[in-house]
Amino acid sequence: MKNTVVENAPPEVGVALQRLRLARGLTLEDLSRIAGVSKSMLSQIEREKANPTIAITWRLANALGVGLGELLNSSAPEMETIRLLEPHETPTLPGNHAGYMLRILGPMELAGKFEWYELQLASKGELASSPHDPGTTEHLTVISGSLELEVGNQIKKIKTGGSARYSADLPHAIRNPGKTEARALLVVVHR
């Protein structure tokens, strides 16, 4: 009997997943947190012991900031001078229960070091955060609407075009007291 290669074999997602994760300086734990996929599942995928569903593959591609095709391609991609992201490729953290949406604008390899987001807050929406690691700071610039910022026991109002810089190693919350949606850029610097 002759050995034949199956030409329609499924893609080896694990090879591409590991290459992309390592290129971004992410641990399995980092990617697990960002993508919402268990660390053990990620490990199995990378070792080609498990095949991810389309939904998991989509979540991983979004978390890594790549298209599905790049994750399904196990060969190394050609170097690009300019890498464009389509709007649907920008990972988002929906907080519908609290009236906010965060679009992750920064590259995943900087997560935990330097992060930037577009924040959309519905009327009466709130993004409340527990204290981050010691020395972490946040920089908030209002693009439209106005926001209320509470850090520790201090509260300040920020108008369109205004910025606030504050310690994020204290409990803090960003609120939209207005009647229309507010938008802001949020930069987080970890020390």
Token couple for 110? 């900087």
**Burial of 108 by CB count in 10 Å (0-12 exposed, 13-18 middle, 19+ buried)?**
buried
> pTM above 0.95?
no
Q: How many CB atoms lie within 10 A of CB 158?
A: 19
β-strand partners of 45: none
Helix (H, G, I), strand (E, B) or coil at 4: coil
Average pLDDT, the chain: 87
Beta strands in 19-153 (DSSP E): 92-95, 100-104, 114-121, 126-129, 137-144, 147-151
pLDDT tens-digit profile of 101-146? 999 898 877 778 899 999 999 999 999 999 999 999 999 999 999 9
Beta carbons of 94 and 101 less than 8 angstroms apart:
yes
DSSP state of 77: P
The confidence score (pLDDT) of residue 53 equals 87
Bigger pLDDT: 16 vs 186: 186
Beta carbons of 69 and 16 less than 8 angstroms apart:
no
For a pLDDT cut of 90, what percent of the chain falls above it? 48
The confidence score (pLDDT) of residue 7 equals 57
Q: How many CB atoms lie within 10 A of CB 10?
A: 9
**Residue 187: which of 148, 127, 153, 136 has the closest Cα?**
136
Token couple for 190? 């970890």
Q: Residue 67 to residues 20, 61, 73, 179, 190: CA-CA distances in angstroms?
A: 12, 6, 10, 36, 28
- CA dist., res. 170 & res. 32, Å (int): 25
